[in-house]
Amino acid sequence: LLNAIEMAPRDPILGITEAYNADKNPKKSNLGVGVYYDDNGKLPLLECVRKAEAQLMEKTAPRGYLPIDGLAAYDKAVQDLVFGADSAVVKEKRAITAQAIGGTGALKLGADFLKRFAPDAQVWISDPSWENHRALFESAGFVVNNYPYYDATTKGVNFAGMLDTLKNMPAGSIVLLHACCHNPTGADLTDAQWTQVIEVVTSRGLIPFLDMAYQGFGDGIESDGKVVGLFANAGGPVFVSNSFSKSFSLYGERVGALSIVATSAEEAARVLSQLKRVIRTNYSNPPIHGGQVVATVLATPELRALWEEELAGMRVRIREMRQAFVEKLKAKAPNHHFDFVITQRGMFSYSGLTKEQVTRLREEYSIYAVDTGRICVAALNSGNIDYVVDAVAQVL
Ligand code: LMR
């Protein structure tokens, strides 16, 4: 059995971190994976997390199993955050939320759930999308297609192409949309474009699946999450995966959630009962610690205020790095225009660097980026930006 197994390729994103970790060059920079580092190049431990953990330590408790759908206080706090505590969906109990193993785990639960109840539907993801979207839905058994999204000439969204494809999909198709901070391009839809998308998705009976892994890294917690509320108000079904990996810097705790909006409380209860079966057969029930930390922060007014402040700090620093990258590059490579990097949102920039240029950055400068040219702006800092800009100017 095992001797015939072929070597699998490295993961296109996490494989870069493996190569980076093995690199001995002291000047190395990992602009591959979507992780926020502070201005010292360090992974932050948020103060709100430290304080919540100190509180939890004071009342350490035995570790029984959590319910299949996770910690109730966490699910409630997440639902209020994602939809708004005063929203109609929450008040009418039309939404269910289950703790998941990170945003990826939430996507996987949603994919497995959909495969059970919409086995013949096809999935549509943006072109391009996060590398793992296709792999995840394909491994759940779906055929995965692309809808047009990024326009390399304008460095923006090919909205006409996107809308046209949405208008021609069979009813019941599953459409994966990035709620904010599009990964990998950083190019988001405008409010007016979202209105049109929601109109087409609803009128054509498509199933929206919103992936929100970067809430708070675009323009703010509320404005980044706004589109989720708009979809929810347009009626069910709506699937939402969200993650606290980045916004709480809790990557390794794997804290995320899957929410599903139904058309009534009664329907929602049936949905939850089935989702619990999916969870039970995947990993039984989620771990406790990360969910407890997030629930504590979200439910404690001082900690929540601190979190919002710390998240704003990360968002502002990324913006500053975008600005600095563009200005410095203007000086070093005046014939190249990178102004679009400033308007992109979230952690990433689809830089336009070619695969060859990315390879040179890695081999000659130990600067790691994704082969598609995606760079993680959140990994730039005042200590490495000049080295990175010089290298980029050289490979251009
Ligand atoms: C990324 O896109 O780099 C992140 O979402 C991390 C991951 O799991 O790929």
| pLDDT surpasses 90 at 260 | yes
- Reported as a single tens digit per residue, the pLDDT across 373-394 is 999 999 999 999 999 999 999 9
Nearest residue by C-alpha to atom 6 in ligand 1: 34
| ipTM value | 0.95
How far is it, in rounded angstroms, from Cα 334 to Cα 84?
A: 46
The span from the CA of 273 to the CA of 296, in Å, is 26
Taking 90 as the threshold, does the pLDDT of residue 35 lie above it? yes
Q: What is the pLDDT of residues 270-298, one digit of tens each?
A: 999 999 999 999 999 999 999 999 999 99
Q: In this model, does residue 73 exceed pLDDT 90?
A: yes
Burial of 166 (0-12, 13-18, 19+ CB in 10 A): buried
Cα end-to-end distance, the chain, whole Å: 47
Same fold, 2-45+304-395 and 63-299: no
Does 3.90.1150.10 match the CATH number of domain 2-45+304-395?
yes
For residues 88 and 395, give the distance between their C-alpha atoms in angstroms, rounded to a whole number: 53
pLDDT in tens, 81-116: 999 999 999 999 999 999 999 999 999 999 999 999
Q: Is there an atom of ligand 1 within 6 Å of 33 CB?
A: yes
- Helix, coil or strand: residue 257: strand
- Closest residue by Cα to atom 2, ligand 1, is 34
235 or 163: which leads in pLDDT: 163
- pTM of the entire predicted model: 0.96
| pLDDT at residue 191 tops 90 | yes
Please state which architecture CATH assigns to domain 63-299.
3-Layer(aba) Sandwich (3.40)
What's the confidence (pLDDT) of residue 235?
A: 86
- Whether 183 lines ligand 1, by a CB cut-off of 6 Å, is yes
Q: How many CB atoms lie within 10 A of CB 61?
A: 8
Q: Where in the chain are the domains? A: 2-45+304-395, 63-299
Q: Check if 211 is active-site.
A: yes
Residue 184: is the preceding peptide bond cis (ω within 30°)? yes
- Cβ atoms of 296 and 303 within 8 Å: the answer is yes
Percent helix / strand / coil, the chain, rounded to 5 = 50, 15, 35
